[in-house]
Structure 1
Amino acid sequence: MNTTLFDRVSAVQADLLVTFVPSEGAFPESTAWVDGNADGQLSQLRESGVFKGGLAQTLLLPSITQDFAQPVLLVGIGKDAELSDMQARKVIAAVAAQIKSLPYASVALASRALVLKKRTQSEVTALIAQWLNEGFYNFLGFKQDDAEKATKVTDLLIEGDDEAALAIGTATANGSAFARQLGNLPGNVCTPNYLASKAQHFGEEYGIDVELLDETKMDELGMHCLLSVGRGSDQPSYLIVMHYRGGEEGEAPHVLLGKGITFDTGGISLKPGPKMDEMKYDMCGAASVFGTMKAICELKPKLNFTAVVAAAENMPSARATKPGDIVKTMSGKTVEVLNTDAEGRLVLCDALTYIERFKPKSVVDVATLTGACVVALGSVNSGMYANDDAVAESLKAASQISADKIWQMPLNEEYQQQLDSNFADIGNIGGPEAGSVTAACFLSRFTASYPWAHLDIAGVAWSGGAAKGATGRPVALLTRYLLDKAS
């Protein structure tokens, strides 16, 4: 889809014009222009109560007058002069839903009427471009009527003059869509090998360097903790490494690490049957890292960035790791596997040790790690832990700009004792209390050599119920974090 800016509503040549109507007070400039060229019909509609301009209310006018034959989609923005992020997102979601149901190929959005609280116009432009394009997403490829569901829009025009902001929003949405597509794929398609092939395709498409460490190589490196997770599966495990080199030659990279458990049965510690199908989403951390790499490759910022994915399938079999087994990590530490369903930390710990060779400026791992984080924070905030205040503050700043919410959680030393084991250096679970915290404590033991943060995205990576599907979070947060590092 081609996304471009335009300066004046009066100059727009598009199949559909989208303009915004407040529920009270004067019309924004663009809406007033449409009203003036439509013999005041917009004013009449609001005064009569036919279209009150309520938040996210929509009304399609196929043709207003003989002289103004262009279809117009009216979208209500309520009574507030400035919208919150949540209100604006509802408005844009309503716009996207209407556009998806219409046959128009080119759409112009008179978006200057949208004013968001505590946001610059550049931020608003980026968010509108991102949210609108995200709203066009459809999961395609497995239903007979998929061709009919595909968005028909080929050209999207957004009012404004900030091409950089528009590019950021569009690239972020593209990255989010890629992450959602990976997350929504079934486990019989999206295997560790499939993720490895996607990395190779990235290498070919964007000219980035890709390394694939297979089980033989990981065994040679002593990554027995990661390998223990995939031992019960017929699908081979991989450590996937992608290098984007847009900065100075030899400059240390920022690293993102994604948990890529392409299906999680829990292993021998088998999960309950209900909703187990949603465990295809246990690779959404990896999906978000892939999506961020796509966004960065499109934007081409000046920084060095390495994406790492620890990919495995957690299955029960005669070969599978058993509760009580002790495995050795690449770092030399031993782990007593008390619960095979606490497998994400097992693949991540060896990857965190492997990353040391890059001498990274920062490392952020992203994982659907614990149900405990869902209990603590629900589906609004990702849980964030950090061993470095500067990394934590950078992520908070990126969260504010991207509207991709995080909440910093504690990483106090007192929690570490919950991971004590009678038989190994560390247990892989710490009991029922503070489950998300002790999972982060486990990971922290492998990050002493660099600034690090952990994002537990178990509550935000996908939605269940009637709206079941991957969300693409936290691609927006991670993309903004890296762009800030480049600037």
Structure 2
Amino acid sequence: MEGIFDVIVEYPIIRKMEADTVKMEIAQLKDLSDCNVVIYFLGKDDITKLGVWEQRGFLEKLYRQKEKLCAEQEITTGFIDFQGNLVKVIVCGLGETASFSANILRKAAGNAVRYIDNTINNRVAVVAPMVSNNETLGAMVEGLILGAYKFTECKSEKTAKNRLEYIFTVKVNDGEKIIAEATLLAENICWVRDLVNRPANIVNPSVMADAAQKIAKDLNIECEILGKKELVKKGMGAILAVGQGSIHEPKLITLKYSGAGAGSPYTAYVGKGITFDSGGISLKPAADMGEMKDDMTGAAVVLGAIKTIAELKLPVNIMAVASCAENMPSGSAIRPGDVVVSASGKTIEIVNTDAEGRMVLADAVWYACQQGAAKVIDIATLTGACIIALGNVTASIVGNDDMLCSDIIAAGKKAGESYWQLPSLPELKERLKGDTGDLLNCAGRPGDAITGGLFIGEFITNNIPWAHLDIGGTATMQKTDGFWIKGATGMGVATLVALARENK
């Protein structure tokens, strides 16, 4: 197969790929003489489409020996002796042509890249007959970068980094542009993964504010940081209550990107940023409490999303609001039974101090509405109930606008991220009514993935379209699979960017 481009696109250091420099090239190849690795992404009908240089004969022989060679997510490795040089072969199955999707390729690329020896310099030929458009090329590039991610900055032993070059033999218009944009998105998802994977003794609300300020400075976008003094002035009692037990004061962070210009409406991306969640006085069990460093994933995601959107210069107006606090037990911490006054004026009766994420989001979504948001999407590691309902692959949606929820689901499908809308039942909303205060911060375990979202919705003003994304089960993975690596996934960034691309 011949490519229609003969262009080399070189990018700066991508530390996540354990390489000093990563090159991605769309070019013609006559043979494998310049490569030490070749990756084949093959559907069941693809071997017959290959040419001589692509080792069609070798692959046909291999297929006769292994019928599952091209089955979906099947990986076969070996070596070819090419003119006296050993070339590593990685064959990744994509399954039936009729069921093929960009996300199948994204997953296969994520799996394939981990079979490359990163202790040496590599020049990798990539053969993918099914890559024929922008979506599939972008998905393949994203998978190769995301699947190679490693978080090693807390390790004392540093590994050597080597050169990695990819040569794509594909026919796609504007291929270099697609590679550049997919690389940018994947790098920013890795940036989010780094932020989430760092321990809570490194990441606190002030560190989140510093990260936001750096984005604003680098990209020349608006930035506002509200500390304790400013939060008190604005009456933001919900976020202040959550953070009052910690030595680290809460921060409400707002970034604004105005790609559509003055006068155009803003969409607000609002993220929960609990940099460590002990549960507060309603203390969590000791087992696995260390995982609660990831409770700021929503805030990291909205920062990563606006960073990507600004770098891509998309013609949209986006507001990212990160509501950050640390939930700790102490003599100054809030107690079950306390009543706090939110920025909206509504009072919140504390039933469980471990239902703190919805409280920091209550002030944050209200603030986004006050700043003129025409739509609000909040994202949070909110409930364990979401995990029970949907597992560790799909995030839940609760909202007041079915069209917005549908747009999010469609954007997620394109981005390789799965969502499911839960019903906003009035019977469950009724359970949020308090006896002492206006609202209970927790209505109990039954239906908590819904009631937690509906609580946040109580602070949306003027019926502004709103959706709540609960990534409680998908923010962190317990094992590596496809382009998701054990640890932080960065789920949500690609969906929010895809929404912005569609201007939805």
Task: Compute the TM-score of the two structures, normalised by the length of structure 1.
Answer: 0.90
> Mean alpha-carbon deviation: is it higher for 299-308 or for 120-129?
120-129
Asked if the contact 1:3–1:170 (Cα under 8 Å) also holds between the matched residues in 2, the reply is no
Paired residue for 2:28? 8
- Shift in alpha-carbon separation, 1:48–1:288, aligned structure 2, 3 A: same
Asked if the contact 1:6–1:158 (Cα under 8 Å) also holds between the matched residues in 2, the reply is yes
Q: State the AA in 2 paired with 1:180.
A: R
Asked if the contact 1:184–1:469 (Cα under 8 Å) also holds between the matched residues in 2, the reply is yes
**Please, which of 59, 69, 73 is the counterpart of residue 42 of structure 1?**
59
Paired residue for 1:284? 297
Does residue 463 of the first structure (1) align with residue 441 of the second (2)? no
- Shift in alpha-carbon separation, 1:224–1:12, aligned structure 2, 3 A: farther
Asked if the contact 1:125–1:160 (Cα under 8 Å) also holds between the matched residues in 2, the reply is no
**Please, which of 187, 207, 211 is the counterpart of residue 174 of structure 1?**
187
Provide the secondary structure at the position in 2 that maps to 1:34.
coil
> Mean alpha-carbon deviation: is it higher for 178-187 or for 18-27?
18-27
Provide the secondary structure at the position in 2 that maps to 1:226.
helix
Does residue 108 of the first structure (1) align with residue 125 of the second (2)? yes
Paired residue for 1:153? 164
Residues in 2 aligned to 1:50 and 1:412: alpha-carbon distance in whole angstroms: 50
Does residue 99 of the first structure (1) align with residue 106 of the second (2)? no
Q: State the AA in 1 paired with 2:91.
A: V
Does residue 121 of the first structure (1) align with residue 138 of the second (2)? no
**Please, which of 444, 448, 466 is the counterpart of residue 452 of structure 1?**
466
Paired residue for 1:317? 330
Q: State the AA in 2 paired with 1:237.
A: P
- Shift in alpha-carbon separation, 1:480–1:81, aligned structure 2, 3 A: same
CA displacement 1:225-248 (0-9 Å, x = unmatched): 110001000011100111112112
For residues 385-404 of structure 1, the aligned pairs below 5 Å read 385-404=398-417
Residue correspondences, number:
475
For residues 291-440 of structure 1, the aligned pairs below 5 Å read 291-440=304-453
> Mean alpha-carbon deviation: is it higher for 298-307 or for 120-129?
120-129
Q: State the AA in 2 paired with 1:307.
A: A
Residues in 1 aligned to 2:424 and 2:466: alpha-carbon distance in whole angstroms: 12
- Shift in alpha-carbon separation, 1:160–1:192, aligned structure 2, 3 A: farther
Any stretches of 5+ residues in structure 1 without a counterpart? none
Paired residue for 1:73? 89
* Residue 252 (structure 1) shift: 2.1
- Shift in alpha-carbon separation, 1:21–1:384, aligned structure 2, 3 A: closer
CA displacement 1:413-457 (0-9 Å, x = unmatched): 221111111111111011221011111111111113221110000
Paired residue for 2:3? none
> Mean alpha-carbon deviation: is it higher for 191-200 or for 84-93?
84-93
Asked if the contact 1:19–1:30 (Cα under 8 Å) also holds between the matched residues in 2, the reply is no
* Residue 14 (structure 1) shift: 5.6
* Residue 101 (structure 1) shift: 3.6
> Mean alpha-carbon deviation: is it higher for 75-84 or for 168-177?
75-84
CA displacement 1:285-308 (0-9 Å, x = unmatched): 111112212321321111111111
Matched-pair identity in %: 33
Any stretches of 5+ residues in structure 2 without a counterpart? 1-10, 12-21
Does residue 144 of the first structure (1) align with residue 144 of the second (2)? no
CA displacement 1:155-200 (0-9 Å, x = unmatched): 6647342434333422221121011111100000011111111111
Residues in 2 aligned to 1:127 and 1:110: alpha-carbon distance in whole angstroms: 14
Q: State the AA in 2 paired with 1:238.
A: K
Does residue 58 of the first structure (1) align with residue 76 of the second (2)? yes
Asked if the contact 1:461–1:470 (Cα under 8 Å) also holds between the matched residues in 2, the reply is yes
- Shift in alpha-carbon separation, 1:184–1:411, aligned structure 2, 3 A: same
- CA RMSD, aligned part only? 2.6
For residues 104-253 of structure 1, the aligned pairs below 5 Å read 104-111=121-128, 113-114=129-130, 121-148=133-160, 152-153=163-164, 157=168, 159-161=170-172, 162-163=174-175, 164-253=177-266
Asked if the contact 1:415–1:437 (Cα under 8 Å) also holds between the matched residues in 2, the reply is yes
Asked if the contact 1:253–1:358 (Cα under 8 Å) also holds between the matched residues in 2, the reply is no
Asked if the contact 2:397–2:420 (Cα under 8 Å) also holds between the matched residues in 1, the reply is yes
Residues in 2 aligned to 1:13 and 1:242: alpha-carbon distance in whole angstroms: 49
Asked if the contact 1:51–1:59 (Cα under 8 Å) also holds between the matched residues in 2, the reply is no
* Residue 398 (structure 1) shift: 0.5
Residues in 2 aligned to 1:334 and 1:212: alpha-carbon distance in whole angstroms: 24
Residues in 2 aligned to 1:176 and 1:21: alpha-carbon distance in whole angstroms: 24
Higher percent of residues as strand? 2
Residues in 2 aligned to 1:388 and 1:249: alpha-carbon distance in whole angstroms: 26
- Shift in alpha-carbon separation, 1:444–1:22, aligned structure 2, 3 A: closer
**Please, which of 468, 478, 487 is the counterpart of residue 496 of structure 2?**
478
* Residue 205 (structure 1) shift: 1.8
Q: State the AA in 2 paired with 1:109.
A: V
CA displacement 1:296-341 (0-9 Å, x = unmatched): 1321111111111000000000000000000000000000011000
- Shift in alpha-carbon separation, 1:358–1:64, aligned structure 2, 3 A: same
- Shift in alpha-carbon separation, 1:381–1:62, aligned structure 2, 3 A: same
Residues in 1 aligned to 2:68 and 2:119: alpha-carbon distance in whole angstroms: 20
Asked if the contact 1:100–1:151 (Cα under 8 Å) also holds between the matched residues in 2, the reply is no
Q: State the AA in 2 paired with 1:91.
A: A
* Residue 409 (structure 1) shift: 0.8
- Shift in alpha-carbon separation, 1:485–1:16, aligned structure 2, 3 A: farther
Deviating above 6 A after TM superposition, structure 1's stretches of 4 or more consecutive aligned residues are none
Provide the secondary structure at the position in 2 that maps to 1:397.
helix
Task: Compute the TM-score of the two structures, normalised by the length of structure 2.
Answer: 0.87
Residues in 1 aligned to 2:230 and 2:66: alpha-carbon distance in whole angstroms: 69
Paired residue for 2:19? none
Residues in 1 aligned to 2:70 and 2:448: alpha-carbon distance in whole angstroms: 46
Q: State the AA in 2 paired with 1:412.
A: L
